[in-house]
């Protein structure tokens, strides 16, 4: 074998090794869960799912669907909101987001300590500057992933620190995967807290003490019948759940933890749940009480 051929083979293996060692973002079935809190809307969670690929300006982009489920502060009921789908693509160690008809950097793992990130802006922060302050390699489920720490400055003072893990994204409050969307205004202060990530090769990673799709249990204390008056038993239940201290027949609805309505009807203190699959549900009584129930 001549020297030129040997060198070519070595270079080819080097390139292939570099390509195969690159961490892939947006694996099949990639799913993120974030706790969602809005001072105007309520509290719940945002779910982001990689669903399909699409070509935009010659680039093969991943389509990420976004759904927010929350218990409304106004109505005390579970509400669902579709947020605008986002399109992203990976080029080497950089993740690009298609936003406002152009591609902008969302994440960049080519950056070194001391480099700045110009793409993320706080609209209420003066002289904002974002600087990479630390880079580490961490192990999650046997996979080595890089982690960046970003110092966010206002007028040369550190406002907050943000951790970003490749493939997973931002893990620090108050941001979601799309951390350049953060905006404070006089009407609202929406915040996120990272809960879970999973894909077809990564089993669920839970960074919180909550279930990935947990919704809050809230009570409308303006009503005469509150949670203090009502007793639900047994819980967990197998075939029926009973409600003590109901004074009259009332309407009820049963939701999955994702906010899907499964049952509805009228009850005077007894609900047959035998037809439900085992799992966690939310039982709403007379638009008044939301109660977590477990069917086993």
pLDDT at 254: 87
CA distance 291 to 271: 13
Q: How many residues does the chain have?
A: 296
Domain residue ranges in the chain? 10-26+53-183, 231-295
CA distance 164 to 93: 13
pLDDT at 160: 83
CA-wise closest residue to 255 among 55, 128, 77, 26 = 77
- SS3 assignment, position 157: strand
pLDDT at 119: 58
pLDDT at 21: 55
Averaged in consecutive runs of 10 residues, what is the pLDDT profile of the chain (296 residues)? Answer: 50 43 85 89 92 96 94 82 92 92 92 83 70 95 94 85 93 85 59 92 89 71 49 87 87 76 89 87 72 79
pLDDT at 109: 94
CATH topology of domain 231-295: Immunoglobulin-like (2.60.40)
pTM here? 0.68
* In contact, 237 and 278? CB cutoff 8 Å: no
CA distance 49 to 98: 16
């Amino acid at each position: 074998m001549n020297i030129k051929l040997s060198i070519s083979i070595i270079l080819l293996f080097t390139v292939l090794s570099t390509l195969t060692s690159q961490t892939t973002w947006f694996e099949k079935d990639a799913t993120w869960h974030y706790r969602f809190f809005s001072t105007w809307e309520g509290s719940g969670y945002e779910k982001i799912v990689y669903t399909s690929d699409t070509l935009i300006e010659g680039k093969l982009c991943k389509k990420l669907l976004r759904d927010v489920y929350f218990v409304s502060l106004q109505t005390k009921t579970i509400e669902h909101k579709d947020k605008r789908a986002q399109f992203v693509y990976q080029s080497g160690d950089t993740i690009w987001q298609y936003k406002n008809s152009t591609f902008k950097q969302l994440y960049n793992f080519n950056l070194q300590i001391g480099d700045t990130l110009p793409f993320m802006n706080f609209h209420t922060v003066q002289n904002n500057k974002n600087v990479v302050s630390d880079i580490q390699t961490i192990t999650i489920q046997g996979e080595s992933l890089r982690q960046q720490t970003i110092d966010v400055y206002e007028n040369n003072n550190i406002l907050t620190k943000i951790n970003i893990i490749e493939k997973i994204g931002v893990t620090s409050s108050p941001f979601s995967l799309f951390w350049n969307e953060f905006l404070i205004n006089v009407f609202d202060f929406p915040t996120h807290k990272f809960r879970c990530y999973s894909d077809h090769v990564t089993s669920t990673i839970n960074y919180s003490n909550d279930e990935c799709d947990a919704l809050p249990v809230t009570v409308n204390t303006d009503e005469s019948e509150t949670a203090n008056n009502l007793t639900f038993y047994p819980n967990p239940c197998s075939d029926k759940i009973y409600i003590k201290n109901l004074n009259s027949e009332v309407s009820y609805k049963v939701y999955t933890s994702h906010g899907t309505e499964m049952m509805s009807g009228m009850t005077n203190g007894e609900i047959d749940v035998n037809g439900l699959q085992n799992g966690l549900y939310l039982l709403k009584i007379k638009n008044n009480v939301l109660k977590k129930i477990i069917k086993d």
